[in-house]
Amino acid sequence: MSIRIGIMGYGNLGRGIECAIKQNEDMELKAVFTRRAPESVSILTEGVQVYPADQILDHKEEIDVLILCGGSATDLPVQTPEYAKHFHVVDSFDTHAKIPQHFAAVDASAQEGGKVAVISCGWDPGMFSLNRLYAGAILPVGQDYTFWGKGVSQGHSDAIRRVNGVVDAKQYTIPVEEALEAVRSGSNPELTTRQKHLRECFVVATEGADKEKIETEIKTMPNYFADYDTIVHFISKDELDRDHSGIPHGGFVIRSGKTGWEGENSHIIEYSLKLDSNPEFTASVIVAYARAAYRMGQKGHKGCKTVFDIPPAYLSAMSGEELRAHLL
Amino acid sequence: MSIRIGIMGYGNLGRGIECAIKQNEDMELKAVFTRRAPESVSILTEGVQVYPADQILDHKEEIDVLILCGGSATDLPVQTPEYAKHFHVVDSFDTHAKIPQHFAAVDASAQEGGKVAVISCGWDPGMFSLNRLYAGAILPVGQDYTFWGKGVSQGHSDAIRRVNGVVDAKQYTIPVEEALEAVRSGSNPELTTRQKHLRECFVVATEGADKEKIETEIKTMPNYFADYDTIVHFISKDELDRDHSGIPHGGFVIRSGKTGWEGENSHIIEYSLKLDSNPEFTASVIVAYARAAYRMGQKGHKGCKTVFDIPPAYLSAMSGEELRAHLL
């Protein structure tokens, strides 16, 4: 019998979940829930219904794991605790600073409901966090470095769009190659914000706009750009749509550490991602953890879990015997 | 109270374990056991005794986790099942093909003794296996690639030393840069043995030896070299000792996969290690898993475990709260 998945929220992430389910033979999409008018939402999987979000409890018996595809700012802080009372759930809550309070709220609900709730699942938080944990446990004397990109930052693209005279924009975060090489050399450099990443912006301006003024406004924007070397290109709307419609991302987690009686030997552990589609990859991670949530539930576990708490074997469709024989 | 570690076998790996324990404040080295004459073994940690291997059961109450540093060919198949009856143990059994039978033997003993036994711990098997599992679970439609090196292969160095006229030798396994790049491009190439790695040998010949004959014998050696492009350098014993006394190693685990409704997006997950000292890094992984074995034992778990079965949080000296606040 397959694991029956429900999707709450059908944007880029929800669609990615749907695609990922198709790649996993032990799973099936059971239903999609939306706050929009269900008839306005057209999904890819034949024979699967879209229901109004507020009817979700009517489908409690049909769904093994509910995947929450809302945003971290306002949706998930409410939804995850609410639904963890009734379903095994997985979310991708990514406001790092608020994870402890989100964990506490979700744990209370999941304990009460006897369900497993996996929060902050994806690649950062998620796979990057895991790699920071493993590498730090293996090399306790050392230093962590996380670089992001090359990839699209939605937040920074939005910030540019709010500048007067800007029609549309896309911002790429790019790790600085020299900084990566310095870290990989084992020299444990201290790197400033500016030394680690640069920001490249593709901007469509309104006709007759003062481009110099727009460029200055972007480059001096506090928090978003002022601390970085920023490159601004003005392009046409057609060029933006043609060359910058993807949502690539990725990055690097590097631990540089020492071993030996006097710390005489150096080691570099590096984990990197190069992703054509940020939401589809995030969705793929979430779907693997949905399998884990289901299995942990079957074994009687309950409460809030993160990637740190979940035995890796639960993620794989293979049995323990197969894993040991083929992957170990 | 610290976790009290015993070391069985004091070679390169045992010494690496001793160094790693020094870096972990929640651990202490309690005793070293050896099959050699204890007075002939001089260790680094002040105040710690070396005992004969056959007296180990006298120290049962002083040791929380026993780390087995013997070889996979003849030591561990006997030692791990034997000691898992009496101690939580960790070994680095690395004969991939025999892992299932080793697991079964160790599991029977550990279940009987109520102990936790972690087998096949290190980087391959170990961290590389874990990365194959995670990446394959996340990207089920894709292909795995493992490259080793640049690093010293003990087995290949030994094989060269058995050639007539060879005094000493060191062999480096080197991943072919073009093959790595092809994999990273997402083109999912089919790679032959020769296309993936090359072998570079530094050989000290006896005076007056027929170097051409030695080189041919190395390059045509079945299993070890015949399937590879092999480079042979003849150097002096002094040069070998000066430039090739280290035991570096490392490698790459890469998963290239597709997502999207029609597999239209490509993703690359890459994990790599660059290690100055193969045994010290292996030891560092083992010591983190010794912490995990101890904690799982405290929670009442028993039986044989691999890196696949162990929740990542158990490896870290940090609490769950600290991990969520700082690493997630």
pLDDT digits (tens, 9 = 90+) for A42-61: 999 999 999 999 999 999 99
Low pLDDT (below 70) residues in chain A: none
Residues of B in contact with A43 (CB under 8 A): none
Is A308–B320 a contact, with Cβ atoms under 8 angstroms apart?
yes
Q: Is B155 exposed, middle or buried (0-12, 13-18, 19+ CB in 10 A)?
A: exposed
Q: What is the C-alpha to C-alpha distance for residues A232 and A242, in angstroms, rounded to an integer?
A: 18
Which one of A19, A259, A261 has the shortest CB-CB distance to B259? A19
Length of chain B: 328
Q: Over range B19-26, report the average pLDDT.
A: 98
Phi, psi (deg, nearest 5) at residue A288: -60, -40
Residues 225-264 of B with CB under 8 A from A: 259-261
Residues 170-189 of A with CB under 8 A from B: 184
Contact status of A280 with chain B (Cβ, < 8 Å): yes
Q: For residue B325, what pLDDT is reported?
A: 95
| pLDDT band (50, 70, 90) for residue B163 | very high
CA distance A45 to chain B (A): 10
Which one of B268, B281, B311 has the shortest CB-CB distance to A267? B281
Residues of chain B with pLDDT > 70, as a percent, come to: 100
Checking if the pLDDT of B6 tops 90, the result is yes
Q: The dihedral of CA B211, B216, B217, B221: what is its sign?
A: positive
Mean pLDDT (chain B) is: 97
| pLDDT band (50, 70, 90) for residue B208 | very high
Q: Is A190 exposed, middle or buried (0-12, 13-18, 19+ CB in 10 A)?
A: exposed
| Chain-centroid distance, C-alpha B313 | 21
Q: pLDDT tens, A31-42?
A: 999 999 999 999
Checking if the pLDDT of B156 tops 90, the result is yes
Which is it for strands A27-34 and A49-52: parallel, antiparallel or unpaired? Answer: parallel
- DSSP string over A164-178: TTEEEEEEEEEE-HH
**Three-state DSSP class for residue A102:** helix
Contact status of A132 with chain B (Cβ, < 8 Å): yes
Q: pLDDT tens, B117-131?
A: 999 999 999 999 999
Q: For residue A268, what pLDDT is reported?
A: 98
Q: Over range B131-137, report the average pLDDT.
A: 98
pTM of the model: 0.96
Which one of A120, A134, A273 has the shortest CB-CB distance to B315? A134
CA distance A307 to chain B (A): 8
Contact status of B26 with chain A (Cβ, < 8 Å): no
Q: For residue B47, what pLDDT is reported?
A: 96
Number of cross-chain residue pairs from A and B with Cβ atoms under 8 Å apart: 216
Its ipTM equals: 0.96
Contact status of B196 with chain A (Cβ, < 8 Å): no
Q: In Å, what is the CA distance from A16 to each residue of B69, B225, B328?
A: 46, 46, 23
Which one of A184, A276, A288 has the shortest CB-CB distance to B267? A276
The CA-based angle B166-B167-B170, given to 5 degrees, is 85
Q: For residue A1, what pLDDT is reported?
A: 80
Q: For residue B1, what pLDDT is reported?
A: 80
Q: pLDDT tens, B78-87?
A: 999 999 999 9
